[in-house]
Amino acid sequence: TAPVNAQAGDPGPLLRINAYSSSSGMNITSGDLDLVRVGVVDDLVLRNTDVNDFEIEPEKATPFEFEIENDGNGPTTALIDVTGLRNGWDYWIDTEYEHNVSEIELSPSYEGNDVINFTLWVVAPGYEDAGEQFSMIVSTYGKESSLETSQNDNFVEIEGNIAEIRNPVFVNEILAN
């Protein structure tokens, strides 16, 4: 096994093959073979950075702030998934540099681009009732990895309410008795 601090792509031990032929009685030894490399191990961490109550106003884009971190041993592409929203709801994800993304490129920590903030924008349809509860699960996983160190920190569940909208109407009338 590779050491705990091995980085993706690091070389493994050199291999040398020794073969013996029982027919001819000859030994054949290969040269050193440099075939083994350390594979990518993902360890993505998703955090909700909002401190506000989760209330959505219908037909208005509501931001939810997140941070994703790559604690794995190499670069990775993190896929972001949102589940649990009812039919008719819409969402998209923005980073500081890109609009409407579903993937975020992350470097390993030693390259300095291992933490990225992003905003999940959610829009509820106008027919949602005030005070009604909603929930959604935001999750992440490596695009090309089959090994995630800990899946317990790969999702965040958000619960909140539909905001009450008050649109006062002022009528300028004089009422006669």
pLDDT digits (tens, 9 = 90+) for 53-99: 788 999 999 999 999 999 888 889 999 999 999 999 999 999 988 89
120-177 pLDDT, tens digit each: 999 999 999 999 999 999 999 888 776 666 778 889 999 999 988 776 667 666 666 5
Coil/strand/helix, residue 109? helix
Q: How many helices (H) and strands (E) does the chain have?
A: 0, 11
Q: Which two tokens stand for residue 39?
A: 């594979």
What is the per-residue pLDDT for 82? Answer: 96
Q: String of b and e for 93-124 (b: at least 16 CB within 10 Å)?
A: beeeeeeeeeebebebeeeeebebebbbebbb
Phi-psi region of 71 (alpha: psi -120 to 50; beta: other; left: phi over 0): alpha
* Burial (CB count within 10 angstroms: exposed 0-12, middle 13-18, buried 19+), residue 66: buried
pLDDT score for 29: 85
